[in-house]
Chain A
Amino acid sequence: MAEQRFPSPFEVQTPTGADGWERMYPYYLQFSEENREWEDGVMWFQDGMHHPEVEFPFDTITHECWQIALGGYNSRIFAVPPAYGIVQRIVNGYVYITPVPVSSEARMAERVDVFMKRAGFYYENWNDLFAKWKVKMEGVIRDLQGLEVPTLKRLEDEEVVTGAQGLSSGYRLMSAYDKAIDNIFLAWQYHFEMLNLGYAAYLNLFMFCKQAFPGIKDETIAQMVAGADILFFRPDDELKELARKAIELGVAAAIRKGGPPEAIVEELRQDPNGKEWVAAMEAVKDPWFYFSSGAGFYHHHRSWIDDLTVPWAALTGYIDRLEKGESLDRPKQEILDRRERLTREYRDLLQTDEDRATFDQNIGLARTVATYIEDHNFYVEHWYHTVFWNKMREFGDRFVEGSFIDESGDVFYLNRWEVGQALYEMCTTWATGGPARGGRYWKREIADRKRILDALRDWSPEPVLGPVPDEISEPFTVMLWGITTERVKQWLGVGEAVPENEIRGFAGSPGQVEGAARVILSASQLGEVELGEILVCPITAPSWGPVFGKIQAAVSDIGGIMSHAAIVSREYGLPAVVGTGNATKRIKTGDRIRVDGNTGVVTILS
Chain B
Amino acid sequence: MSNILWLDECTPECAELVGGKALGLGHLLRQGLQVPPGFAVSTVAYRDFVEGAGLGKEIARALEGAEGPDAERQASERIRALFRSFEPGQTILDEVRSAYTELGNGQPAPVAVRSSATAEDTPEASFAGQQDTYLWIVGPEEVERHVVECWASLFTPQAIAYREHLGIRHDDVAIGVVVQMMVPAEVAGVMITLDPITGDRSQISIEASYGLGLAVVGGEVTPDRFAVDKVTLELRSRTIVSKDIAYRFDPDVGQVRVTEVPDEERGAPCLHDDEVVALAGIGKRVERALGCPQDIEWALGSGPAGGRDPFLLQTRPETVWSRRSAEPIASPDEPILSRMLKNIRIPMRLKDAPETAGDPASGGGR
Residues of A within 8 A of B (CB): 2, 37-38, 41-43, 75-76, 80-85, 87, 98-104, 107, 112, 115-116, 119-120, 123, 200-201, 203-204, 207-208, 211-217, 220, 341-342, 345-346, 349, 351-352, 354-355, 357-358, 361-362, 365, 467, 469-475, 477, 510, 512, 598-599
Contacts and interface: CB of A to CB of B under 8 A. Distances in A.
A3 to B, nearest CB: 10
Contact of A119 (B337, B343, B354, B355): B337
Interface string B322-334: 0000111111100
Contacts of B30: none
Contact of A358 (B237, B331, B344, B358): B331
Contacts of B336: 123, 204, 361-362, 365
Contacts of B227: 215
A42 B339 CA distance: 29
Contacts of A104: 359
23 contacts: A37-B354, A38-B355, A38-B356, A42-B353, A82-B344, A82-B346, A84-B356, A98-B348, A100-B357, A101-B346, A204-B340, A208-B329, A208-B330, A211-B329, A213-B200, A213-B203, A351-B326, A357-B332, A358-B331, A358-B339, A472-B347, A474-B346, A512-B273
B9 interface: no
Nearest to B201: A349
A119 B327 CA distance: 29
Given A200-B340, A220-B231, A351 B346 contact: no
A471 B236 CA distance: 25
B158 interface: no
B344 A83 contact: yes
A351 B201 contact: yes
B169 interface: no
Contacts of B344: 80-83, 200, 203, 474-475
A543 to B, nearest CB: 27
Contacts, number: 181
A103 B201 CA distance: 38
B325 to A, nearest CB: 9
B341 A43 contact: no
Contacts of A473: 345-346, 348-349
Contacts of B360: 76
Contacts of A112: 341
Contact of A82 (B236, B345, B357, B359): B345
A119 B343 CA distance: 15
A220 B348 contact: no
A99 B352 CA distance: 16
Contacts of A116: 335, 337-338, 341
Interface string B191-218: 0000100101111000000000000000
A474 B235 contact: no
A75 B354 CA distance: 19
B347 A358 contact: no
Closest 4 CB pairs of A and B: A351-B326, A99-B347, A41-B354, A354-B328
Nearest to B345: A473
A103 B202 contact: no
Contact of A204 (B238, B339, B346): B339
Contact of A342 (B231, B327, B351): B231
B343 A203 contact: yes
A82 B335 CA distance: 19
A355 B349 contact: no
Interface in B100-149: none
B347 A83 contact: yes
A382 B345 CA distance: 31
Contacts of A120: 337
A470 B238 contact: no
A471 B353 CA distance: 13
A598 B236 contact: yes
B200 A103 contact: no
Interface residues of B, number: 49
Nearest to B332: A357
A510 B234 contact: yes
Contacts of A211: 329
A351 B199 CA distance: 11
A598 B329 contact: no
A579 B303 CA distance: 43
Nearest to B227: A215
B332 A358 contact: yes
B1 interface: no
Contacts of B340: 200-201, 203-204
B346 A217 contact: no
Interface string B220-232: 0000000101111
A352 B346 CA distance: 30
B286 to A, nearest CB: 15
A82 B230 contact: no
A345 B230 CA distance: 9
Contacts of A102: 346, 356, 358
A27 B182 CA distance: 78
Contacts of B230: 345, 349
A103 B356 contact: yes
B305 interface: no
A267 B284 CA distance: 59
A443 to B, nearest CB: 38
Given A216-B229, A354-B328, A99 B348 contact: yes
Given A116-B337, A208-B329, A475-B343, A469 B349 contact: yes
A140 B296 CA distance: 61
A474 B229 contact: no
A214 B238 contact: no
Nearest to A40: B354
B350 interface: yes
Contacts of B348: 42-43, 98-99, 101, 469, 471-474, 477
B356 A100 contact: yes
B358 A85 contact: yes
Contact of B202 (A204, A349, A354, A362): A349
Given A38-B356, A112-B341, 15 more contacts: A83-B344, A84-B358, A100-B347, A203-B340, A208-B330, A215-B203, A345-B230, A354-B331, A357-B332, A358-B339, A362-B336, A467-B352, A470-B349, A473-B345, A598-B234
A211 B342 CA distance: 13
A473 B346 CA distance: 7
B332 A41 contact: no
Nearest to A365: B336
Contacts of B347: 82-83, 99-101, 472, 474, 477
